[in-house]
């Protein structure tokens, strides 16, 4: 397999760890978009994960002409909450989750989820993590890749390796929460790992097309 350097448009250390965990097994190097912190932050005002991923990928790719870059949007969808928090996952505990600059700490978001699920039996606490990756070059999205992992929301956090809602998300196949897995273990099961593997299949197909 050809060795590739993949530029990712994020400064989130948890996301970078997740991508690196998948990339390690494929001889791929993960790097942040150069000078990412100095770039104008893209407003994530899309109604879907796909819309936000595309918007970020297209905007940030303009900062690295000719390079293929990746951007993702991801979140948690809980069936008992009608699919919430969804695209508002990072700011769910905010007084106004619709306010675009209102991201709050992971612990606060987890606490709100636990409050809203209080009294709901475990068999009805099913949920899924969703990740959409967009690959763009020179302001144009070339393709998108979706990954989903299904699990159950616990009534208490477990593990310290993940971020976001990982400590609450129990994955039955592994018998652990996502926060109890190492980065490499998590890459085998996670939504981000699934989306990234689909991206690598496309990248290595020899003829990456557009959508």
- Tracing tokens 């675009």 back to the chain, one arrives at 100
Marked catalytic residue, from 73, 106, 138, 155: 73
SS3 state at 66: coil
Comparing CA positions, the residue from 101, 79, 70, 103 lying closest to residue 89 is 103
| CB-based burial, 33-53: b 16+ in 10 Å, e otherwise | beebeebeeeebeeeebbbbb
* Of 51, 29, 75, 19, the residue nearest 195 (C-alpha): 19
**Alpha-carbon separation of residue 174 from 11, 100, 190 (angstroms):** 28, 34, 11
50 labelled catalytic: no
**202/127 Cα distance (integer angstroms):** 28
Adjacent-strand bridge partners of 72 = 133
Contact of 129 with 75, CB cutoff 8 Å: yes
Residues in the chain: 211
- Active-site residue list: 73
């Amino acid at each position: 397999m050809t060795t590739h350097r993949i530029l990712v448009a994020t400064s989130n250390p948890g996301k970078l760890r997740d991508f690196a965990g998948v990339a390690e097994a494929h001889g791929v190097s993960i790097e942040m978009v150069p000078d990412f912190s100095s770039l104008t932050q893209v407003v994530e005002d899309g109604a879907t994960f796909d819309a936000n991923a595309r918007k970020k990928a297209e905007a940030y790719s303009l900062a690295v002409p000719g390079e293929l870059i990746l951007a993702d949007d991801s979140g948690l969808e809980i069936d008992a909450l009608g699919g919430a928090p969804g695209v508002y996952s990072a700011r769910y505990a905010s007084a106004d989750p619709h306010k675009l600059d209102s991201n709050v700490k992971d612990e606060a978001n987890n606490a709100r989820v636990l409050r809203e699920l209080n009294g709901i039996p475990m068999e009805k606490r099913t949920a899924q993590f969703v990740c959409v990756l967009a690959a763009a070059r020179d302001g144009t999205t070339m393709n998108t890749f979706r990954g989903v992992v299904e699990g159950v929301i616990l009534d208490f956090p477990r593990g310290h390796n993940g971020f976001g809602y990982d400590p609450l998300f129990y994955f039955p196949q592994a018998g652990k929460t996502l926060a109890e897995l190492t980065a490499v273990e998590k890459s085998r099961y996670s939504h981000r790992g699934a989306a990234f593997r689909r991206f690598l299949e496309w990248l290595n197909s020899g003829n990456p097309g557009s959508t």
